[in-house]
Amino acid sequence: MAVGPDTLPELKPVDGFRIGVASAGIKKPGRRDIVLMELCEGATVAGVFTKNAFCAAPVVLSKKHLAASSIRYLLVNTGNANAGTGEQGMRDATACCEALAERTGVSVEAVLPFSTGVIGEPLPVAKIVGALEAAKSDLSEDNWLNAAHGIMTTDTRAKAGCEQFEHEGKTVTLTGISKGAGMIMPNMATMLGYVATDAEVDQAQLQAWLTAATEQSFNRITVDGDTSTNDSCILAATGRSGVKVESSGEAADKFVSALNRLMLHLAQSIVRDGEGATKFVEVRVEKSASVREALDVAYTIAHSPLVKTALYASDPNWGRILACVGRAGVENLDLNAIEIYLNDVCIVEKGGRAASYTEEQGQAVMNGEEILIHVVLNRGDVCEAVWTTDLSTDYVHINADYRS
């Protein structure tokens, strides 16, 4: 169950970025569970990682390697998160990096490890190492679709996108994949994103743009309010297009715009495939006094089990939305100034139900699969949006039944 059409755009190869997929038999024999990504020499790499204090061993190691070295390989396994595994987990993640480094003639620090799957089980190092040769011989620039499938866990569909722009007669490509179906699934932990481009961008600038893009994409989505131990998003730039993107100017504008579109698409694809999702919901808070209060209101609505069950029921239950705005902790809120809309239908104004509102109008909006909950605070000029799903009986089934 997912919201919207299950179609992927053509995933253009990125010159200098090769991908190999293999089966290590971590959870199920024959399932693609290893994705190896190879960057050409001279590529720059940026990363953002979970803020969960209990971050997994591969996250700790990836951060360390990223700070110490230029990066040549990304090694992803599914089926095991290598999280909650203490010191052994660090040794296991290191062992995988070492094995790959040996086989490719790079330093251990040139490898970033990523794991997603069950928490608290020892990483099956031998299985992963045993699949490295197969992944290596599969390396190809045309493997994006296989990679999108290879990093899936409870995802019901592959998630990928592609953006291109022209600059001074040359074409720049950005291609990316993501996975995740709850914001966290510590059993099949979590959100991963990989974007590669053939633009040339220096590392510090790449990191700044990735951080900014993440803030407006992966950090604006929620399925169940949880944050995983393994969330990671990587942006790699090979430079092979011959277009150097400086910190500002026309190329920078085009690049940032393409990156933001791609990242938002990858993030929203995760929400559309949210566990048990039957609705894709944007919560937009406008005319707010600050980003903080806009997000407080938006997330209070997006996380409310009562709003989410009403969405599941296609019930235009404006009282539940209004109560969320009221408890979001915004100081000196002027109730009479607030307007709340479902799509274009005004449901609340002057502290109560809008005079013009009819239940039929609300019902018509709620019957749709894509819904906008639009709150106008009328106390400033900040606008922020977050994206979420409804809360269905299937969500409970998926998360209650998963380990049994």
Q: Could you say which residues in the range 373-392 bind a second copy, by CB under 8 A?
A: 391-392
Query: CA 245 to CA 238: how far, in whole Å?
Result: 12
Q: How many CA atoms lie within 13 A of 57 on its CB side?
A: 27
120 binds a second copy (CB under 8 A): yes
The verdict on whether residue 187 carries a ligand-binding annotation is no
Task: Say if residue 399 carries a ligand binding annotation.
Answer: yes
Query: Of 159, 179, 320, 374, which one interacts with a second copy (CB under 8 A)?
Result: 320
Tokens representing 113 are 């490890």
Report whether 287 belongs to an annotated binding site: no
Does 229 sit near a second copy (CB under 8 A)?
Answer: yes
Which residue is associated with the tokens 């239950």? 317
If one asks whether residue 324 binds a second copy (CB under 8 A), the answer comes out as: yes
Strand partners of residue 79:
117
Determine if 83 is a binding residue for a second copy (CB under 8 A): yes
> Rule CB under 8 A: is residue 215 a binding residue for a second copy?
no
Residue 190 is among the residues annotated as catalytic for this protein: yes
Q: How far is the CB of 393 from a second copy (least distance, A)?
A: 5
Q: What's the min distance (Å) between Cβ of 224 and a second copy?
A: 4
β partners of residue 161:
176
Nearest approach in angstroms of CB 283 to a second copy is 16
Helix (H, G, I), strand (E, B) or coil at 61: helix
Please select the residue that binds a second copy; options are 68, 335, 358, 370, rule is CB under 8 A: 335
Residue pair 243/358 in contact by the 8 Å Cβ criterion: no
Question: Measuring CA to CA, how many Å separate 144 from each of 90, 198, 251, 327, 368?
Answer: 29, 15, 25, 44, 32
Out of 37, 49, 52, 112, which residue is the one contacting a second copy (CB under 8 A)?
52
How far is 246 from 200, CA to CA, in rounded Å?
9
**Alpha helices (runs of H) in 273-346, residue ranges in sequence order:** 291-303, 305-312, 318-327
For the packed helices 318-327 and 305-312, what is the interaxial angle rounded to 10 degrees?
Answer: 160
Part of the chain binding a second copy (CB under 8 A), chosen from 66-74, 127-135, 178-186, 206-214 = 178-186
- Within residues 337-366, the interface with a second copy by CB under 8 A covers 348, 350-353
Cα gap 241→239, rounded to integer Å: 6
Is residue 317 part of the contact set for a second copy (CB under 8 A)? yes
CA–CA dist 317, 315 (Å, integer): 5
What Rg value do the Cα atoms of the chain yield, rounded?
Answer: 22
**Least distance in angstroms from the C-beta of 154 to a second copy:** 12
Member of 313, 364, 382, 383 binding a second copy (CB under 8 A): 313
Instruction: Determine which residue in the list 45, 55, 210, 281 makes contact with a second copy, applying CB under 8 A.
Output: 55
Angle at Cα 85 formed by Cα 80 and Cα 87, nearest 5°? 130
Q: Using an 8 Å Cβ cutoff, are 330 and 377 in contact?
A: yes
Task: Tell me how long the chain is.
Answer: 404
Using the contact rule CB under 8 A, the part of the chain among 69-77, 205-213, 266-274, 327-335 near a second copy is: 327-335
Rounded to whole angstroms, the Cα distance separating 174 from 25 reads 31
Amino acid at 15: D
Does the protein bind a second copy through residue 84 (CB under 8 A)?
yes
Residue (13 or 89) nearer to a second copy, CB: 89
Catalytic residue among 94, 116, 190, 197: 190
Annotated binding site for substrate: 153, 179, 190, 275, 399, 404
Residues engaged in binding a second copy (CB under 8 A): 51-55, 81, 83-89, 118-120, 182, 184-187, 189, 224-229, 303-306, 309-310, 312-313, 315, 317-320, 322-327, 330, 333, 335, 348, 350-353, 391-393, 395-397, 399-401, 403-404
Q: Point out the residues that are catalytic.
A: 190
